[in-house]
């Protein structure tokens, strides 16, 4: 069963990771999204159809030869 989650801060995701036995960081998807200036710009945005094993979703800034992009990461349990 899937549900909707909101994007949280990396600090909040880390707290969930530390509080959940067996949890780990894992890429939420393989997409690269345009970086909009700050991770705060993504906070609270809904993530549709999140699987039940995903506890939190957050955004990291990454960069490659094409420039900066947003990578969606998750805290999951297996």
Q: Give 44-55 pLDDT, tens digit per residue.
A: 999 999 999 999
70 band by pLDDT with thresholds 50, 70 and 90: very high
Q: How many domains does the chain have?
A: 1
What average pLDDT is seen over the chain?
94
Q: Give 16-47 pLDDT, tens digit per residue.
A: 999 999 999 999 998 999 998 899 999 999 99
Contact 45, 7 (CB under 8 A): yes
Predicted TM-score (pTM) of this structure = 0.90
pLDDT at 1 exceeding the cut of 70: no
Name the 3-class secondary structure at 26.
strand
Burial of 12 (0-12, 13-18, 19+ CB in 10 A): middle
Look at residue 78 in the predicted model and tell me its pLDDT.
80
Owning domain of residue 9: 3-77
């Amino acid at each position: 069963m899937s549900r909707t989650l909101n994007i949280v801060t990396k600090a909040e995701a880390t707290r969930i990771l530390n509080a959940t036995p067996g949890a780990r960081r894992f890429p939420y998807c393989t997409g690269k999204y345009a970086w909009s200036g700050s991770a705060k710009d993504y906070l609270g945005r809904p993530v549709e159809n999140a699987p039940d094993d995903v506890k939190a979703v957050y955004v990291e800034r990454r960069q490659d030869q094409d420039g900066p992009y947003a990578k969606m990461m998750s805290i999951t349990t297996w």
